[in-house]
């Protein structure tokens, strides 16, 4: 998705329009799966679910906005470091609000090793240094808070309101698409005009929509199967695996040591074990004799 989005925004330099197209196309994909007989869709969810997934869309956009700002003010290196530390906060909230135990020794070591590998990779990578000014620190802290809340809140909604993966995908992208279209109406006209109207450019945009829809479905389906912490750790592992592929096949100045550190990050994230639910204490028996 990172590669297709990067290429798509170069050919269609209108991020707001690109995001709206991806969200709307994902809705159409979910509806198409229903009419194709691949899934059964409830197009009239009850009021509580509508309110819940409207909130999910707002949380999603808040996190997306924070993502853009941290990249703008702190840079990619800082983003990778902050992203690698998110499982530590999510596992505590998993314990406090979602009824999970804290990670066992193996999982704790896996999280620490993954984060340490990310730190080591950034220090070895070098490149442009991040100026840790007030703006950088503020947006790092803001995005971290937004993202951690996103992981726990959406997991709570998924658990509270049972639905299929395609239904969750439709509800999230429908409300998010509405917010995106509102943003398009409020944005200057020049921001929604494609600078490159070639057939190849629109094919790349279409590819980004297909990949985005697939990832949206897989993500919403996976959230129902794993804990919030597990989902977060897998996200870090996937991010580092993408960087590993980029280092191995795209970067011209890659090094075996950096590739090794990235491989350690991926393997350590894969070693994480999902925390089980806490066992609720047994209620006292009022008939028991002392």
* 178-214 confidence digits (pLDDT tens): 988 888 887 655 544 544 557 787 888 899 899 889 9
Q: What is the pLDDT of residue 249?
A: 80
For residue 120, being part of any structural domain is answered with yes
| Residue 276 domain flag | no
Q: Evaluate whether residue 280 is within a structural domain.
A: no
Instruction: Give the separation between CA 98 and CA 1, rounded to whole angstroms.
Output: 30
User: What pLDDT, on the 0 to 100 scale, is given for residue 283?
Assistant: 47
The runs of H, that is alpha helices, within the chain are 2-11, 15-35, 47-73, 76-84, 86-97, 105-125, 134-160, 165-186, 199-223, 228-249, 256-270
Q: How many structural domains are present in the chain? A: 1
Q: CB under 8 Å to 202, separation ≥6 — which residues?
A: 12
pLDDT at residue 192, as a whole number: 47
What is the structure's pLDDT at 287? Answer: 52
16 assigned to some structural domain: yes
pLDDT score recorded for residue 251: 76
Secondary structure string (H, E, C) spanning 201-270: HHHHHHHHHHHHHHHHHHHHHHHCCCCHHHHHHHHHHHHHHHHHHHHHHCCCCCCHHHHHHHHHHHHHHH
**Residue 206 within a domain:** yes
Domain assignment of residue 149, yes or no: yes
Within 13 Å of residue 164, how many CA atoms lie on the same side as its CB? 13
Position 278 in a domain: no
Do 161 and 49 meet the contact criterion of CB atoms below 8 Å apart? yes
Residue 284: per-residue pLDDT: 46
Three-class SS of residue 277?
Answer: strand
Global pTM reads 0.84
SS3 287: coil
Of 228, 255, 233, 242, whose CA–CA distance to 115 is shortest?
A: 233
Range of the domain at 43: 2-270
Output DSSP code: residue 38.
S
- Residue 55, token pair as written in the block: 């909130």
**pLDDT < 70 positions in the chain:** 1-3, 6, 127-132, 187-197, 280-290
User: Per the domain annotation, does 167 fall within a domain?
Assistant: yes
């Amino acid at each position: 998705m990172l590669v297709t989005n990067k290429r798509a925004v170069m050919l269609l330099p209108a991020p707001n329009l690109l995001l709206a197209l991806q969200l709307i196309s994902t809705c159409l994909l979910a509806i198409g799966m229903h009419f194709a007989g691949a899934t059964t869709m409830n197009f009239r969810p009850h009021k509580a679910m509508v309110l819940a997934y409207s909130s999910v869309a707002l949380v999603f956009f808040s996190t997306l906005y924070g993502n853009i700002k941290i990249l703008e003010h702190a840079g990619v290196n800082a983003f990778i470091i902050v992203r690698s530390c998110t499982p530590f906060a999510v596992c505590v909230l998993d314990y406090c609000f979602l009824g999970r135990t804290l990670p066992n020794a193996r999982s704790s070591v896996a999280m620490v090793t993954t984060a340490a590998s990310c730190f080591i990779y950034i220090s070895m990578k070098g490149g442009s240094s991040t100026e840790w000014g007030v703006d950088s620190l503020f947006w790092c802290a803001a995005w971290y808070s937004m993202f951690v809340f996103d992981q726990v809140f959406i997991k709570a909604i998924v658990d509270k309101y049972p639905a299929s993966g395609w239904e969750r995908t439709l509800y999230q992208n429908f409300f998010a698409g509405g917010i995106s279209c509102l943003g398009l109406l409020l944005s200057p006209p020049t921001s929604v005009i494609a600078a490159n109207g070639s057939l190849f450019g629109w094919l790349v945009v279409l590819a980004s929509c297909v990949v985005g829809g697939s990832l949206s479905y897989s993500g919403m389906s996976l959230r129902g199967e794993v804990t919030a912490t597990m989902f977060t750790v897998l996200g870090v592992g996937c991010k580092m695996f993408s960087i590993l592929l980029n280092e191995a096949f795209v970067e011209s100045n890659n090094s075996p040591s950096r590739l090794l550190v990235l491989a350690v990050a991926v393997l350590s994230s894969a070693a994480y074990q999902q925390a089980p639910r806490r066992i609720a204490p047994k209620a006292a028996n009022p008939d028991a004799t002392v």
